[in-house]
Amino acid sequence: MAKNSPLVRLQAEIFDPAKEYNQFLKQNTGAGGAAICFTGLVRSNPDNPIVKLTLEHYPALAQRQLEKFANIAFERFKLQNISLIHRYGAMAVGEPIVQVMTISAHRQAAFDGANYIMDWLKTDAPFWKIEQSAKGKNWVENKACDENAKHKWKTD
């Protein structure tokens, strides 16, 4: 059986979440018994509707960090496969920003792997959101809860 390795894709273009997930599932070598797909979407704010979200990024470091988190998750949770897509540039409300897909023999590892990647990516991958609303442009501030979430994965 061919062995899969984590795939990381950075792109400006929109992607079709279902199509990506189906493609990911098709790569199952047969050893995978549990697959997870998490999709992060552009969220509006009822009190101040978002017209556009723009993600600035540091390309070389972003690619490197995403690969690092995917590779760590792959080894640590003994996953069969990982695929991670993250967008940058301008996007509209409701569009997908990020999608992480994991597959493992049993479900806990697949859940944990996806969760681990998202927790680290929120605070340690160089992307910055700017929200555009009727009131103007606003750099999104980081949340303390995101900063805390990754620490639950510390092993030492």
Min separation Cβ 141 and another protein, Å: 7
Min separation Cβ 28 and another protein, Å: 25
CB atoms within 10 A of CB 150: 17
Site for another protein contains 140 (CB under 8 A):
yes
Per-residue x/- marks for another protein, 94-133, CB under 8 A?
---xx-------------------x--xxxxxxxxx----
Upper half-sphere CA count for residue 16 (Cβ side, 13 Å): 4
**Whole-Å CA distances, 100 to 8, 19, 92, 93:** 9, 13, 20, 19
- Determine the size of the site formed for another protein (CB under 8 A): 28
CB 123 within 8 Å of CB 150: yes
81-87 and 127-133 beta bridge pairing: unpaired
Distance between CA atoms of residues 62 and 11, nearest Å: 11
Min separation Cβ 84 and another protein, Å: 11
Among 4, 24, 74, 86, binds another protein (CB under 8 A): 86
Distance between CA atoms of residues 14 and 137, nearest Å: 22
Site for another protein contains 64 (CB under 8 A):
yes
- Please give the residue ranges that form the binding site for another protein (CB under 8 A): 40, 55-58, 60-62, 64-65, 86, 97-98, 118, 121-129, 139-142, 147
